[in-house]
Chains A and B, each alone.
Chain A
Amino acid sequence: MAFAQFSLENAWLIPLLPFVAFLLIVSFFRNMEKTASTTAIISSVISFALALGVVAAVLQRPELIEEPLVYSMRWFSMPGLEVSMGVLIDSVTAMMLFVVTLVATMVMIYSTGYMKGDPGYSRFFAYLCLFAASMLGLVISTNLLQMFVFWELVGLCSYLLIGFYYFKDSAKEAAKKAFITTRIGDFGLLIGILLIQVNFGTLEFVELAEMMPAFALAHPFLVTLMGILVFVGPIGKSGQFPLHVWLPDAMEGPSPVSALIHAATMVVAGVYLVARAFTLFQFSPEAMMVIAYIGGFTALFAAAIAITQREMKRILAYSTVSQLGYMMLALGVGSLSASMFHLMTHAFFKALMFLAAGSALHAIHGRTDIFQMGGLYKKMPWTAGFMVIGLLAIAGIPPFAGFWSKDEIVLAAQLGGYTDLYYVAKITAFMTAFYMSRMVFVAFFGKENPENHPHESPINMLAPMGVLAFLAIFGGLVGAPWVEKGFSYWVRYGEYVPHQADLMTMASSVLIAGAGIALAWVIYGAKWIDASMLAEKASFLHKLSYNKFYIDEIYQWMNEKIVAGTSRVLYWIDLRVVDGAVDGSAKLTGWLGDKLRLSQTGQLQHYAMIFFAAVVLLVAIMGMMGAETAMALIGGGK
């Protein structure tokens, strides 16, 4: 296939096209809304077509699974440090290119409806294009520094888009928080990169993979250190505990942004980075364990928070944090396939849910509390339907996409010998089914709120959701266990190990998901049990969960008391001690001058007195030490 070959060889076009669109929009189309969004969508669609070409090419050439195609050019260099930028294509890249371009295209089409009439319409599309370009650049990175560069750029876009409504104080604060929190993660990542560069002399993934086995044998501790430091980056970017705090606040951005950046693509960059650098982690069981447990804990922890939240997008955000924890867990227990598979299906159904949430919020003009919605399905049947599809997919009901990928993860935990994480995954699955159903039942079913006047969204918003809904239903089938050469054959690390369908696990998963949905129905649908009574009975737990375990408060306290306090103390030191010494020396000079000035009386008698005293002194010295010594003493020659 010529087109597939062309796409493979010109994959650099995939990020470049949205970037060109960005430049066009900011330079020429700032005041031409229609042209701006059309340019953005066209660039994105062509990128999507090329990404499909890359996928087709990879499917034709299975050798790309283990030996990626790499081409690159010099970015800058000096003796001892060479950095290039380029394109690396293997099956993981192809999958990511597909997901990112697909979701980006869908979100852009959706946004033509969602952002209609917004004064920042063109700006919004410009940012989206810049984001797509950066994200795609990240995906095709050949080395860690290139990845870091785009990693930071997607962070910038995230910052700009969270703060899109810059006139709102809350948006301004949320954007800042997101940037700084992820920066803390980047601090670790950057040090990890330095350590790798200094020890290996290269940051290229392919070269690192070749050098790693020998190096790991010689320096196991260093490899663990590198692994953990590099992982700090993903903790920030992918919202893992304890740096998850920015992601729920990031919902200040417009809903399409939440769907694209804070659910489907950017936040999974951390997972993707770990997958890309898997060779590094492969050789350090300790680092892998850290990843697995942080992932597992995050999954459970975020789910525990999501249960009591009231704002729709916040529930979805905590759910994203939890699902990202799932993906990390999968990586930590050693299954790259399961993690990437869940990354893909999650992108489908979570993007769908965010777009549906956006559609709902759009219709009722920003009322965000689910308990003030109620009965939306009557006026918004399509949106409600899509939301239900998303719910079934994330809860893990077969044949929806989430079912297959979640099962892979649970199995991987079991096979890896992590019994504890196996149960964590199961419990999280139950909680996920529960809180998601709670959200859907409360917001879309139940009693209508007479203050709301919802209406169904236009076709340009519904159609993209339809595409994602289709994938949320059927997209998981590519990884069903009885598919020969399915997802885990193509996207893997190391040998392909086919495994049988485990019917027991499947059955228990379905039961757990069903139980979660049923419990939510009992409490929030049929209201056989009063939710507020439950909350009162377990008021301590409820408070903990509702207040997000007070993590935000702790950080705020640290920021206000410790950081700002230190700052003020240091400023005081700078003014009083350091600069005090400077002013002090100036004052001392002035004081000395003042005193010495007194000797300059201008009276001849005084000067004669001093002259005479000096002569007497000199004579006295001469008498005691001899003329020679005294002459030397006062500096005279012979």
Chain B
Amino acid sequence: MDFPLLTIALLTPLVGALALAFVPKDEHKVIKSLSALFTGIPLLLTIYAYFTYDFAQGGMQFVEEVQWVKDLGITYIMAVDGISLPMLLLTNLIGFSAVFASWNIEKRPKTFFILLLILIAGVMGTFIAQDLFFFFLFYEVVVIPLYIMVIIWGSSKRVTKEYAGMKLTIYLLIGSALLLVGLLAMYLNAYPAGERTFLIESLQQANFSDEFQIFAFFLLLVGFGSLLSMFPFHSWSPDGYAGAPTAVSMIHAGVLKKIGGYGLIRIGILALPVGAKFWAPLIAVLAVANVAYAAMIALSQKDLKYVVGYSSVSHMGFVLIGLAAMNIIGINGAIAYMFAHGVMSALFFALIGHVYEKTHTRYIPDLGGLSHQMPRLAVGFMIAGMAALGLPGLISFVPEFTIFIGAFQEFPIMTVIAITGIIITALYTLRVLANVLFGPRRAELDKYRDLQGPEMVPLILLGAVIIVTGFFPALLMDMVNAGVEPLIGPLLDMLGDTPTIGGGF
């Protein structure tokens, strides 16, 4: 077997968590540096993987496969393709940045960073495990650190942090309960006893009946959908992000919720295409509700985190409508957009974290003219904000455009309504930028300092990704397409006249 790159990337944060356990709890510097090291290594490894992945060939690469429980058909299989690789990159980019965004944590840093490392490993695992059993296992691993981190290090504003943590966790668990039923049903239905397997690839080739697909996909849609903050299962998202500490908001909004979109594609669409096609119109309608409804609500928010929270709900609508298109262009766009949104929302939360850490407020009317005191932060806010409103030359424009093209072919009217999102997004984003950054200097804010030293890492790293992929979108789109084209292409021919809910409108 070759060098087990993915396993090493996955284990490094866990080893790091173990190592931290032996560091004295007052050695803050050591704890933080070690955390940076143990998230930096997997980041470098995945960047290496990105550059060595063979785009022309596409498909699963860096495969590591070990039979585990033969009787149940459980296999330890780690691999990435153009769908997993961007998510893996995203996880590590954000994980590494999150360590630096938490640089000034003074309250029990040892426990915090141990949990953070476990969280990162868990999220990473879901994207590279190509076996349902392990996928689900990692998904559940994520819940534990998440809950504790919100409860202990969170902040209480509109809702208490206990409420926020509870809501976040219960939503995750209800989603996973539905998923468990759906996934087990797939496992049991795919092959007769004795040949059963949790391998995702084998499940994709199973012949599920149409009725079963429609039933199972619905379970997955609600399960993964609530993780992706699909309307009307989105209300955890603004409260949850507001209550969570910076690093958790970054990871949750950045990558964790993308497990929903990833699962819908990897397991939902690819294994249950008829079911997906059947429900596609419903997804499109809910997607539009996400985009327009959440964006409108974001307009009247006064807490920075609530703005970004609703904005994130709104942007997930783009992912959903891209998926609902069920064609190569739409799905390409949806995956690329998940990556784009992850980077920009993580940057947003990192910056808001800084503002809150210094000023202890996120209430927009209390802020204003911050670019006088914090010019670097202002640059970061501008980059993240402009990316959020889909400015060309930044990461999100091309994925957004691609989604629109893909979706427009299937649901022209829904797409047009979704595109109104670009106006509303501009409205609330520019309002925030103007009211937080610009305007006359406020003397009471003079005592707060700008980002400096390690705090700059998220800004530089994520900002660079936003700009570079904006100018050279092929860097992102080629990778995604290498995964999507070989998988989705064959499906399309098969799906000719599949019935859809509502009969197509």
Contact = CB atoms under 8 A, between A and B. Distances in A.
Interface string A162-190: 01001111011101100110011011001
B207 interface: no
Contact of A156 (B391, B431, B474): B391
Contact of A187 (B170, B420, B430): B420
B371 A166 contact: yes
A571 B441 CA distance: 31
Given A176-B434, A180-B427, A582-B235, A186 B401 contact: no
Interface in A509-542: none
Contact of A568 (B300, B372, B431): B300
Contacts of A78: 328-329, 332, 402, 477, 481, 484-485
Interface in A140-177: 145, 148-150, 152-153, 156, 163, 166-169, 171-173, 175-176
Nearest to B402: A81
A176 B431 contact: yes
A69 B440 CA distance: 50
Contacts of B225: none
Interface string A559-572: 00001101110110
A180 B426 contact: yes
B499 interface: no
A186 B438 contact: no
A186 B422 contact: yes
B474 A76 contact: yes
Nearest to B170: A586
A75 interface: yes
A582 B328 CA distance: 36
Contact of A183 (B239, B369, B415, B422): B422
B299 A167 contact: no
A79 B485 contact: yes
A80 interface: yes
Contact of B300 (A153, A179, A197, A564): A564
B120 interface: no
Contact of B408 (A75, A183, A198, A579): A198
A581 B234 CA distance: 12
A74 B473 CA distance: 10
A582 B232 CA distance: 10
A194 B402 contact: no
A167 B437 CA distance: 9
A176 B339 CA distance: 28
Contacts of B473: 75-76
Interface in B386-409: 386, 389, 391-393, 397-398, 401-402, 404-405, 408-409
B140 interface: no
Interface in A426-456: none
A292 B96 CA distance: 56
A574 B235 contact: yes
B419 A190 contact: yes
Interface in A568-626: 568, 570-571, 574, 578-579, 581-582, 586
B478 interface: yes
A167 B372 contact: yes
B293 A145 contact: no
B365 interface: no
Interface residues of A, number: 50
A500 interface: no
Interface size class of B (residues with CB under 8 A): 35 or more
Contacts of B386: 156
Contacts of B489: 79
A175 B434 CA distance: 9
Contact of B235 (A77, A197, A563, A579): A579
Contacts of B296: 563, 566-567, 570
A74 B438 contact: no
A380 interface: no
B297 interface: yes
Contacts of A167: 369, 372, 438-441
Interface string B214-257: 00000000000000000010111001000000000000000000
A357 B340 CA distance: 44
A321 to B, nearest CB: 22
A269 to B, nearest CB: 14
A171 B430 CA distance: 13
Nearest to B426: A183
B232 A578 contact: yes
B177 interface: no
Contacts of A571: 297, 300-301
Contacts of B474: 74-77
A179 to B, nearest CB: 6
Nearest to A166: B438
B423 interface: yes
A191 interface: yes
Contact of A197 (B405, B426, B478, B481): B405
A173 B434 contact: yes
B299 A563 contact: yes
B328 A80 contact: yes
B438 A163 contact: yes
**Centre residue among B328, B397, B434 by max chain A CB count within 10 A:** B434
Nearest to B408: A194
Nearest to B399: A76
Given A76-B474, A78-B481, A163-B438, A145 B401 contact: yes
Contacts of A74: 474
A442 B365 CA distance: 43
A80 B333 CA distance: 13
21 contacts: A75-B473, A77-B477, A148-B392, A166-B437, A167-B372, A167-B440, A167-B441, A169-B440, A171-B438, A172-B434, A175-B434, A180-B427, A183-B389, A183-B426, A190-B401, A564-B300, A566-B296, A567-B296, A567-B297, A570-B297, A578-B235
Given A80-B327, A167-B439, 13 more contacts: A74-B474, A75-B473, A166-B437, A167-B440, A172-B438, A175-B434, A179-B430, A180-B423, A190-B422, A194-B404, A195-B408, A567-B297, A567-B299
Please list the 5 inter-chain residue pairs (A to B) with the smallest Cβ-Cβ separation, ordered nearest first.
A149-B392, A579-B235, A567-B299, A567-B300, A172-B438
Interface of A: 74-81, 145, 148-150, 152-153, 156, 163, 166-169, 171-173, 175-176, 179-180, 183-184, 186-187, 190-191, 194-195, 197-198, 563-564, 566-568, 570-571, 574, 578-579, 581-582, 586
